[in-house]
Structure 1
Amino acid sequence: MHIYYYDKKFKYQGEDVIDNDELPENATDVRPKEGLYLPEYDENKKEWFESATQEYIDSLKPKPQPAADVTMLKKQVALLTLQLSQLQRGGAS
């Protein structure tokens, strides 16, 4: 049986596979929903819910690169592609 552990505050602590049907203390066989950042278990409802704040979730997402950085990288790729094609043809032309 696949089980999911939680701490005294019901925060997710990991998972395990056990050979018997008896759940250990602070564990459930209810799988956390996909996409939760800080899963917390509700014993009464027998379900996991999101306990992370939106601010915390936003802090984990990568920051978008400024457009100038992307433009510079595109130019570098174009230049390297040109240099590679010149080398494959036997040198600069």
Structure 2
Amino acid sequence: MHIYYYDENFMYTGEGIISEYDEMPKNATDVGLPKGLYLPKYNEGKREWSESATQEYIESMQPEPPLPNDITTLKKQVALLTLQLSQLQRGGAS
């Protein structure tokens, strides 16, 4: 049986497997952990996991947007220069 451990504050600490004949440890549950939680916290009364992270913490865990690489930057510059050149050849910007 798959089990989920929590500490004295009911915060998730890991997972394990026990035999169906073993007794459930005091600091564990067989209630599945939903995906997408940053700091899971267990509620014994409701027998459910919930998010305990603040919005600020969640936002800090998001990856930074990637910086454009050199090739992408060069492609944009070439496209802009090509447009400007075609406008000049037609007698100026339209």
Number of aligned positions between the proteins = 74
Point out 4+ residue stretches in structure 1 off by more than 2 angstroms.
Answer: none
Gap regions ≥5 residues in structure 2: 76-94
What TM-score do you get using the length of structure 2 for normalisation? 0.70
1:7 aligned residue = 7
The structural deviation recorded for 1:36 is 0.3
- 1:22-80 CA-to-partner distances (Å, cap 9, x unmatched) read 21111000011110000000000000000000100100101224xxx416341468xxx
1:57 aligned residue = 58
Kindly provide the amino acid, as one letter, of the partner of residue 59 in structure 1.
S
2:44 aligned residue = 43
Alpha-carbon RMSD: 1.9
What TM-score do you get using the length of structure 1 for normalisation? 0.71
Kindly provide the amino acid, as one letter, of the partner of residue 30 in structure 1.
V
Gap regions ≥5 residues in structure 1: 78-93
Percent of paired sites with the same residue: 55
- The CA distance in 1 between the partners of 2:65 and 2:23, in whole Å, is 47
Larger Rg: 2
